[in-house]
Amino acid sequence: MKLTGKWVLITGASSGFGAAAAAAFAREGAHVIIGARRMDKLNETATAARNQGAASVAAHPLDVASTPSVEAFVQWIRQLTPRIDILINNAGGALGLDPVVSGKDADWEGMVQSNFLGLLRMSRAVIPLLPHHDGAWILNVGSVAGHGVYEGGAAYCGVKAGERSVTQALRLELNGTGIRVGSLDPGLAETEFSLTRFAGDTARAAKVYAGVQALQAADIADAMVWMATRPAHVCIDEIVIKPTDQAAFHKVHRRPSN
């Protein structure tokens, strides 16, 4: 399926996978609509997408953790286009790596709001704009954390497992409409993910990727474009992508530094 002239909506597009996806779909000639909380960063994404040849680019503040913000965002979209062809639910992330016994309410609630409820809110608001043909698509960005657990990951792994449940429920609910639904679940990826998880502690974040040839945001955006461009009758339900160096959560090959 060609992406030229398709309307693609990407949440969490201020950095990482979302920003890379905006550039990648722009290169395909799509209309790119992006949302995120940080407008300064979002505007940088918009400029980059314009430079990549998007049919058009529009950016607007969006906090998926807030129903009024999601509703205002979709009202704004309705002034641009009556239809969205592709929704990429990318917003979310991890907050903290504490074991349950010392977990913080703010971290847990933040992760549930952005990763899990945010996904539900965005899907509810945008599904009415998706056409029932032509391979319309909802892509939820999950994680390998939705396929297993690790110490300190109870809440994050929980919401990412929840994301898979939402994806699978939507797949069932939308069967017969022609709307495709899938999940893309990355492993170790060098984005702002760890910086956010560790509240801006750059040294701790850098350790996560030390010696590992981690995934880059562009690798994930590349896979998104591949999934989106399958023929309309082909739905990629779920993809797990990890760095070659990461065989499992606790099995990561680290190269010695020179």
Q: Which residue has the tokens 């880059």?
A: 216
**Is residue 131 packed enough to be buried (19+ CB in 10 Å), middle (13-18) or exposed (0-12)?**
middle
Does residue 91 sit in helix, strand or coil?
Answer: coil
The residue whose Cβ lies closest to ligand 8X3 is: 143
Using the minimum distance from each CB to ligand 8X3, give the nearer residue, 116 or 249.
249
* 150 belongs to the catalytic site: no
What percentage of the chain's residues is helix, strand, coil (to nearest 5)? 45, 15, 40
User: Min. distance of Cβ 244 from ligand 8X3 in angstroms?
Assistant: 15
User: Min. distance of Cβ 145 from ligand 8X3 in angstroms?
Assistant: 4
Catalytic residue among 73, 156, 193, 249: 156
Distance of alpha carbon 167 from alpha carbon 142, whole angstroms: 9
Q: Which residues bind ligand 8X3 (CB under 6 A)?
A: 143-145, 187-188, 193, 249
User: Min. distance of Cβ 258 from ligand 8X3 in angstroms?
Assistant: 26
Using the minimum distance from each CB to ligand 8X3, give the nearer residue, 77 or 188.
188
Distance of alpha carbon 129 from alpha carbon 82, whole angstroms: 7
User: Min. distance of Cβ 256 from ligand 8X3 in angstroms?
Assistant: 22
| Helix or strand holding residue 186 (H, E) | strand 180-186
Using the minimum distance from each CB to ligand 8X3, give the nearer residue, 73 or 193.
193
Using the minimum distance from each CB to ligand 8X3, give the nearer residue, 6 or 160.
160
Work out the end-to-end distance of the chain between its first and last CA atoms, rounded to an integer number of angstroms. 46
Would you please indicate which residues are annotated as catalytic (active-site) residues? 156
